[in-house]
Chain A
Amino acid sequence: MSTLPADLAANPRLDLWVRVDDDGCITVRSGKVELGQGITTAMVAIAARQLCVSPQRVRIVSGDTALAPDEGQTAGSQSIEQGGAAMRTATALARGLFVAEAARELGVPATDIKTEEGWFFAVGRNDRCSYWDLSARVDLALDVTGLEPAVILAGAVTPPARIDLPGKLAGTMFIHDLDLPGMRHGRIVRPAMARARLVGFDRAAIEALPGVLAVLRDGDVVGIVAARDDTARQVAKRAAELLRWDAPPAPPPMSEFHDWMDDLPANSRVIFDETTCVPAAHRYEGVFARPYIAHAAIGPACAVARWTDGKLEVWTHSQGVFPLRAHLARALAMPQSDIIVTHRPGAGCYGHNGADDVALDAALLARAAGAPVMCQWSRADELSTAPAGAAMRVSVTAEMDADGRITCWDQEVFSPPHFARPSAAPGTALLSAWSMATPQAPAIAQQAGFPPGTGERNGLPLYVVGARRLRHHLLPQGPLRSSALRSLGAHCNVFAIESVMDELALRAGVDPVRFRLAHLDDPRARAVIEAAATMADWREDAPGGEGVGRGIGFARYKNSSAWCAVVAQIEVGERVRLTRAHIAVDCGEAIDVDGVINQIEGGAIQAASWTLIEEAGWDSNGPRARAWEDYPILRFGDTPDIAVRLLQPADAPPLGAGECVAGPMAGALGNALRHALGVRVRRMPLTPERIATAIEQEGS
């Protein structure tokens, strides 16, 4: 059977996905984990539909190396595309096995069995039996590869209210709420600059600090353990004053358009090359950039570890329990089979933050303490030691003929790593592993095929632009540690593309919406642009200037996933404020319409924050942001009005929606600023200082 969803084909034992409990419920298991995107609720809705039970009867276990299927990372807006498809087929197959057994039991052909709320009825008769009556006789411990194809029921059940939220408010659901018997609290005491060498360590002095139960030293990794979290926080601060570090060489200085990128070794690739550009009537050249952007979760990275007879259990909010287990095994030089990794929700992560790192920290501290340990990171660690989203520089050259048709497009992308998660690649992706007594090499930054790509993601316009070229220069070692942040390179690539589209439209004397439509033959792309323009009551002659403006941005995420168009309205006063956003998205069938809209709204506000105000910088002492006051994000006073419309074409399979809005929002904001002030700002964030510089440069 070749049509099995990939995640199910890779984990073909059906009881890994579905088990009938003996209390009137059914437990389903998913490798996709709850990151605040509502995935567990959506999975329950999918399973309930296929099992023909109400969602209240479905329990879910997700992210557990001992209990649940291995579905890799929960990332890239693929949880529903891949994990949802696997869950749907697995639960449909399970129902099929029960229907067959019910037919035998009731003495009718399977086609005469009707299933409702967990009961199997023989059509036209009164007999019935249930999942729970039959469960002893139906063996789910089998390989699905040999089964008849699943009969997938169309439609979806209305998802219940988010199943994870009540426990989160009750203080029972987050990893920070876990309390194992005898559990202690630990902290790693880190240097200001990553990979500094420890040159002054006085164990006795640290042990003498009041409240210290254990001290960890493994190479350059130092930590303390205390009975309570507050004691651990205080002790860690005092211990930090007792350590001496030899800082590594200072990073190259920051610069507006990332000149430091020119001096770094690069892995350069030509992703796409149709031909070289032939000069036409108009040429536009521009260099665009974004800074490093912090993930900046509201809650600290946290993990709990417990050692029993040389075996390790870890509780984590990592996006991938199996990859994390593999890297813990590398760092601790032990077999994976001696480690169990279980997911518990943390604060929203938006990509690869410190969640994986802190799991190793907890394991090291628990080993030193001889007791289970919860390790949390400080706010400073969260902002300075976790990977940031990579800085980018994107150069675009486009040619347009005298009729206003784009004839070629050349895009060149420079970026440090956008992907350095735990994965199958060599090296270890866990921070402390690099500084232990037996140090591990850091994981190699990875490139992916295109699409989706990493730094070059969305570097090819979806527009019909004649000959296209795309090049990517991956800089493995940037001045800050970087890895996956929601949407990867799409945020800056789409910002560049959409800025250039507006500049070309201006030179062609054509309205930006019409100009885009004239360069698109993909009907679903046209539909979202038209929808967003209609929602926003787009007028070709809308006056700009006077500090207000509107702009449009569009992209198809990864050139292969959801289509999204944004019309942004802004006000420019002391700073740029997004006042209203109209957003149209086509992500195929939505399992949970409100859940998808929630994702898009959140993604839109976060992307507005990145684009307008965020910048993770550094100086000769390392990362500059160590507290929220150093790293402002969009606040409640700047809440925009947001309207989202989902276009749901019939029979379109679901596509992830969590990341599709980042690029279009950035493009729409840049274009709205151009409309408001008549100036093109090419470097994010779009702060008053950058606007002033851009005005000066255009004037000169």
Chain B
Amino acid sequence: MSPSVLLTVNGHTHELSLAPGTLLIDALRTDLALKGTRHGCGEGACGACTVLVNGIAVQSCDIAAAECAGAAIETIESDAAAPVAAAFLEFTAAQCGFCTAGIVMTILAWLRGRPVPDRAELIGKLDELHLCRCGAHARILRVADALVARPVR
């Protein structure tokens, strides 16, 4: 029998029985059917799978679900992500949209660093964690600039 793990995702706690070593991304996509988080490379190199764990942007393909037990996990499906996602739509800061969910989460974490979210810090974070093959980079930064002027939780 697989051991059970308590995962708190977007404010709801779930008891999941997971095979040892199950990655957070698979617990989210497969066990919880939260499929907005994307599986890009599965190797910690593209950022498509980024979620927040205790407010910090984490690549969910690179961390075991059990390690996140008890932590507050936030995904693209969370209410907090909605205004950031809406701004991506408003600015059409995506082409295929495969990188978008992960980038939304990184920007959400960054925005919470108010009162003064630092643009250079965001670029550094995006540079470290994320790839976008469609070339939406410039638009994504424009969204971030616009969001700084708006209220965010």
Of the listed residues B34, B42, B88, B94, the one surrounded by the most CB atoms of chain A closer than 10 A to its CB is B94
Whether A602 lies near B134 (C-beta < 8 A) is yes
Looking at the assembled complex, report how far the CB atom of B108 sits from the nearest CB atom of chain A, in whole angstroms. Answer: 13
Contact of A628 among B34, B45, B76, B99 (CB under 8 A): B45
Pick out which of these stretches binds chain B: A161-169, A442-450, A469-477, A678-686. A161-169
Contact of B139 among A297, A347, A601 (CB under 8 A): A601
Inside 8 A of A602's CB, which chain B residues have their CB? Answer: 95, 134-136
Bound complex: CA of A605 vs CA of B48, how far in Å?
Answer: 19
Contact of A171 among B26, B35, B139 (CB under 8 A): B35
Whether A169 lies near B134 (C-beta < 8 A) is no
Interface string of A61-84 (1 = CB under 8 A from B): 000000000000000000000000
Inside 8 A of B33's CB, which chain A residues have their CB? Answer: 179
Looking at the assembled complex, report how far the CB atom of A349 sits from the nearest CB atom of chain B, in whole angstroms. Answer: 8
Given known pairs A606-B135, A641-B138, the reply for A298 and B98 (CB within 8 Å) is: yes
Pick out which of these stretches binds chain B: A108-116, A228-236, A690-698. A228-236
Of the listed residues B26, B96, B127, the one surrounded by the most CB atoms of chain A closer than 10 A to its CB is B96
Whether A161 lies near B92 (C-beta < 8 A) is yes
Give the interface size class of chain A. 35 or more
Whether A171 lies near B77 (C-beta < 8 A) is yes
Interface string of A597-632 (1 = CB under 8 A from B): 011011111100100000000000000000111000
Inside 8 A of B101's CB, which chain A residues have their CB? Answer: 168-169
Q: Please report the total number of B residues contacting A with Cβ < 8 Å.
A: 52
Of the listed residues B34, B131, B141, the one surrounded by the most CB atoms of chain A closer than 10 A to its CB is B131
Whether B138 lies near A642 (C-beta < 8 A) is yes
Looking at the assembled complex, report how far the CB atom of A144 sits from the nearest CB atom of chain B, in whole angstroms. Answer: 33
Interface string of A228-257 (1 = CB under 8 A from B): 111101000000000000000000000000
The answer to whether B146 has its CB under 8 Å from any CB of chain A is: no
Whether B135 lies near A595 (C-beta < 8 A) is no
The answer to whether B117 has its CB under 8 Å from any CB of chain A is: no
The answer to whether B100 has its CB under 8 Å from any CB of chain A is: yes
Whether B123 lies near A636 (C-beta < 8 A) is yes
Interface string of B60-102 (1 = CB under 8 A from A): 0000000000000000110000000100111010111111110
The answer to whether B22 has its CB under 8 Å from any CB of chain A is: yes
Given known pairs A161-B90, A636-B130, A640-B138, the reply for A628 and B96 (CB within 8 Å) is: no
Nearest A residue to B120 via CB reads A637
Of the listed residues A171, A296, A629, the one surrounded by the most CB atoms of chain B closer than 10 A to its CB is A171
Nearest A residue to B98 via CB reads A347
Inside 8 A of B100's CB, which chain A residues have their CB? Answer: 165, 168-169
Looking at the assembled complex, report how far the CB atom of A164 sits from the nearest CB atom of chain B, in whole angstroms. Answer: 7
Whether A164 lies near B130 (C-beta < 8 A) is no
Interface string of B17-35 (1 = CB under 8 A from A): 0010011001001100111
Contact of A627 among B22, B43, B104, B137 (CB under 8 A): B43
Bound complex: CA of A689 vs CA of B134, how far in Å?
Answer: 27
Interface string of B105-135 (1 = CB under 8 A from A): 0000000000000000001101100111111
Bound complex: CA of A168 vs CA of B104, how far in Å?
Answer: 13
Bound complex: CA of A635 vs CA of B128, how far in Å?
Answer: 8
The answer to whether A36 has its CB under 8 Å from any CB of chain B is: yes
Bound complex: CA of A176 vs CA of B33, how far in Å?
Answer: 12
The answer to whether B36 has its CB under 8 Å from any CB of chain A is: yes
- Main secondary structure, interface of B, reads loop
Inside 8 A of B40's CB, which chain A residues have their CB? Answer: 298-300, 347
Of the listed residues B37, B92, B141, the one surrounded by the most CB atoms of chain A closer than 10 A to its CB is B92
Looking at the assembled complex, report how far the CB atom of A66 sits from the nearest CB atom of chain B, in whole angstroms. Answer: 25
Nearest A residue to B125 via CB reads A636
Looking at the assembled complex, report how far the CB atom of A450 sits from the nearest CB atom of chain B, in whole angstroms. Answer: 28
Whether A166 lies near B127 (C-beta < 8 A) is no
Whether B88 lies near A165 (C-beta < 8 A) is yes
Looking at the assembled complex, report how far the CB atom of B91 sits from the nearest CB atom of chain A, in whole angstroms. Answer: 9
Looking at the assembled complex, report how far the CB atom of B30 sits from the nearest CB atom of chain A, in whole angstroms. Answer: 5
Whether A598 lies near B139 (C-beta < 8 A) is yes
Nearest A residue to B97 via CB reads A168
Whether A299 lies near B26 (C-beta < 8 A) is no
Whether B35 lies near A230 (C-beta < 8 A) is no
Whether A298 lies near B139 (C-beta < 8 A) is no
Bound complex: CA of A373 vs CA of B62, how far in Å?
Answer: 25
Inside 8 A of A350's CB, which chain B residues have their CB? Answer: 133
The answer to whether A633 has its CB under 8 Å from any CB of chain B is: yes
The answer to whether A553 has its CB under 8 Å from any CB of chain B is: no
Looking at the assembled complex, report how far the CB atom of A647 sits from the nearest CB atom of chain B, in whole angstroms. Answer: 21
The answer to whether A35 has its CB under 8 Å from any CB of chain B is: yes
Inside 8 A of A599's CB, which chain B residues have their CB? Answer: 95
The answer to whether B152 has its CB under 8 Å from any CB of chain A is: no
Inside 8 A of A629's CB, which chain B residues have their CB? Answer: 45
Bound complex: CA of A350 vs CA of B96, how far in Å?
Answer: 10
Inside 8 A of B41's CB, which chain A residues have their CB? Answer: 300, 379, 627-628
Inside 8 A of A161's CB, which chain B residues have their CB? Answer: 89-90, 92
Nearest A residue to B75 via CB reads A171
Inside 8 A of B89's CB, which chain A residues have their CB? Answer: 161-162, 165-166
Whether A230 lies near B30 (C-beta < 8 A) is yes
Nearest B residue to A350 via CB reads B133
Bound complex: CA of A603 vs CA of B134, how far in Å?
Answer: 7
The answer to whether A530 has its CB under 8 Å from any CB of chain B is: no
Nearest A residue to B106 via CB reads A636
Whether B96 lies near A36 (C-beta < 8 A) is yes
Inside 8 A of B43's CB, which chain A residues have their CB? Answer: 379, 627-628
Bound complex: CA of A165 vs CA of B36, how far in Å?
Answer: 11
Bound complex: CA of A150 vs CA of B72, how far in Å?
Answer: 58
Bound complex: CA of A636 vs CA of B34, how far in Å?
Answer: 27
Bound complex: CA of A346 vs CA of B99, how far in Å?
Answer: 11
Looking at the assembled complex, report how far the CB atom of A101 sits from the nearest CB atom of chain B, in whole angstroms. Answer: 38
Interface of chain A residues 178 through 209 with chain B (CB within 8 A)? 179
Whether B92 lies near A595 (C-beta < 8 A) is yes
Bound complex: CA of A604 vs CA of B139, how far in Å?
Answer: 13
The answer to whether A333 has its CB under 8 Å from any CB of chain B is: no
Bound complex: CA of A642 vs CA of B26, how far in Å?
Answer: 37
Whether B134 lies near A348 (C-beta < 8 A) is yes
Inside 8 A of A605's CB, which chain B residues have their CB? Answer: 135-138
Interface string of A571-596 (1 = CB under 8 A from B): 00000000000000000000000110
Inside 8 A of A633's CB, which chain B residues have their CB? Answer: 131, 133
Given known pairs A169-B76, A299-B38, A299-B48, the reply for A35 and B137 (CB within 8 Å) is: no
* The 3 A-B residue pairs with the shortest CB-CB distance in the complex, in nearest-first order: A36-B96, A171-B35, A605-B135
20 more contacts with CB within 8 A, not counting A169-B97, A348-B134, A606-B133, are A36-B94, A161-B89, A165-B89, A165-B92, A165-B97, A168-B100, A169-B104, A170-B77, A171-B29, A171-B77, A176-B35, A231-B19, A298-B96, A298-B133, A299-B39, A348-B95, A348-B98, A605-B135, A629-B45, A636-B141
Can you list 17 A-B contacts (CB < 8 A)?
A: A37-B95, A38-B95, A161-B92, A165-B97, A168-B96, A168-B98, A296-B133, A298-B133, A348-B96, A601-B139, A628-B131, A636-B140, A637-B123, A637-B127, A639-B123, A639-B141, A641-B138
